[in-house]
Amino acid sequence: MTPPPAPGSRPDRRAAVFVWSLSTAQLVSWGILFYSIAVFVVPMEADLGWSKTALNAGITIGLVASGVFAPWAGTQIDRGNAWVVMTAGSIVGSLAVAAWAFVATPLVFWLLWVVIGFAMSCTLYEPGFAVLSRTMGDQAPRAILKMTLVGGLASTAFIPLAHLLVQELGWRHAVLSLAVINLAISASIHALMLRPDRLPPAPPRSQKLPSVSTRAALADLRFWGLLIAFSIYNLVFTTFIFHFLPILEERGVSRDTGVALFTLIGPLQVSGRILLFAGGQMVSARLVGRAVFITAVPLLILAALAGADLALLTLFVAIYGVINGISTVVRGTIVRELFGAQSYGAISGSLTLPSNFARAVGPAFGAVLWSIGGGYGLVLYTLAGLCSVGAIAYWTATRDMGSS
C-alpha cells in the first residue's frame, strides 16, 4: 500500500491549489449567476418599464431550471466528465449573461434565465461538491468546507461590485462586464484545473463509507428523508429572508436598521463555516445537521416573539447566519456519509430539483400566508412548524447510518 503523502509534499500542494482554485470559481459563479440579479432589478425596472414581478421571475425560472438539469449534471460528473460539464457551464453562463445586456422583452429575459439555470446546475455548489467527493477521498468534507468558506463571500464581494458597475457604466454595460469576469475567471479555472491530467491523484476508496448506486439510493427511505428535510429548509429560510425587511417594517423597525441587520447575515454564514473549520479535520454531517434543524425551530419562534426588540432581533440574525452557513456544508457532506462517493453527483442532483423548487416558491408562499393571517405572526409560526417536520425527517434519515 502506498503511504499517504507527507504534509507539504508536492501532491499535498497540488491538492490545495486544486481546492482553492475551484473555490475561487465558486465565488465568481455564485456572485454573477445568482446574486447579481438583486442589483439589476431597480435599474432595469426604471429603464425598461417592466414590473418587479417580471424581473424577479427570472431568478425563479433560473432556480427551477437549475433543479431540472441538476441530476443530468451530477450523473455526468459521476462518469468523469467534470471538465466538460463545468467548463461548458461557465462558458454558456457567460454568454447568457452577456446576452442579458441586450434584452428588450420579458420573454427573452426569461428564456435567458433558463440558460443561466442550466449554467448554475453545471457550476455551483452541487457539481463542485461532487468533484471534491470524487477526487479528495477522506479529505472531501474538509475540502467542501473550504469551498463554502470562499463561496460564502460571493454576495459580499459581488453585490457591491455590481452596484458600482451600474453606477459607473449603466446596467447594460455592467452586465457585460460581469459576463467577461465570469468567462475570464470561472471558465478559465474550470478549463485548466479540471483537465484529466491536472486532477489530483485519485485516492483509494474509503473503507468507512458505503458505495450505493443511484437506483439503490432512490429506493432508500433515508434519501426521501433528506429530500423532505432540505426542501423544507429551503422553503422556510428563503421565505423568511425575502420577507425579513417587511417583517421588521411591520413592527416599526426603521429601514436603515433592517438593512444593517440584513447585511450581517453573509459574514455570519462564513463565521459558522469557520467554526466548523476550526473544529477539527472531519465534520460529522449527521450530528451537525441535527443541531441545525433542531435549532431552527426555537429560532423562528424567537423571531415571532421578538417584536421590535433590537437585542432579540440581533440575536436572531446572529444564530440564523451561523446555522445557515453550516447548513450548506451539511448539504454538501451528508450525501457522501450516507451513500458514499460512487454516485454522489447523481444522488445530490436528484435532491436539488425539489429543493430549488421550494426555494423558488418561498417568497410567494410567505405572501399567501401573510394575506391569510393579516400579518407575519402566522407566517413565522407556520415556518417553525415546518421546521419541526424537517427536523424529524433529517433525524430519521440519519438515525442509523448503516441501514438502508
pTM for this model (two decimals): 0.81
Q: What is the identity of the amino acid at 294?
A: I
pLDDT in tens, 287-346: 888 999 999 999 999 999 988 899 999 999 999 989 988 888 888 888 888 888 778 888
Give me 269's grid cell.
Answer: 454564514
Task: Give φ, ψ of 200 to 5 degrees.
Answer: -60, 150
Crossing angle between the packed helical segments 171-182 and 10-29, to the nearest 10 degrees: 160
* pLDDT interval class at 211 (50, 70, 90): low
Task: Give φ, ψ of 148 to 5 degrees.
Answer: -75, -25
DSSP 34: I
For the residues 38-63, what does the mean pLDDT come to? 86
For 154-165, b/e burial (b = at least 16 CB within 10 A) is bbbbbbebbbeb
Give me 243's grid cell.
Answer: 420577507
- Fold match, 11-198 / 214-397: yes
Percent of the chain with pLDDT over 70: 92
Mean pLDDT, the chain, rounded, equals: 86
Q: What is the pLDDT of residue 402?
A: 45
For 84-104, b/e burial (b = at least 16 CB within 10 A) is ebbbbbbbbbbbbbbbbbebe
Q: Does domain 11-198 have CATH number 1.20.1250.20?
A: yes
CA angle 41/43/47 to nearest 5° reads 115
Q: Is the pLDDT of residue 389 over 90?
A: yes
Q: What is the pLDDT of residue 270?
A: 85
Torsion of CA 98, 104, 106, 112, to 10 degrees: -20
* pLDDT interval class at 215 (50, 70, 90): confident
Q: Which residue has the cell 491523484?
A: 201
Q: What is the pLDDT of residue 357?
A: 87
Give me 120's grid cell.
Answer: 448554475
CA angle 199/203/205 to nearest 5° reads 135
Q: Which residue has the cell 451561523?
A: 322
* pLDDT interval class at 39 (50, 70, 90): confident
Q: Cα 120 to chain center, whole Å?
A: 10
Q: Is the pLDDT of residue 375 over 60?
A: yes
Q: Which of 157-171, 236-250, 270-284 has the lowest mean pLDDT?
A: 270-284
Q: Is the pLDDT of residue 201 over 80?
A: no
Into which CATH architecture does domain 214-397 fall?
Up-down Bundle (1.20)
Listed by start position, the domains of the chain span 11-198, 214-397
Q: What is the identity of the amino acid at 255?
A: R
DSSP 170: -
Q: Which of 85-94, 161-170, 342-351 has the lowest mean pLDDT?
A: 342-351
- DSSP state string for 145-190: HHHHHHHTTHHHHHHHHHHHHHHHH-HHHHHHHHHHHHIIIIIHHH
Cα separation, 281 vs 35, in Å, equals 31
Q: Is the pLDDT of residue 1 over 50?
A: no
Q: What is the identity of the amino acid at 70?
A: A
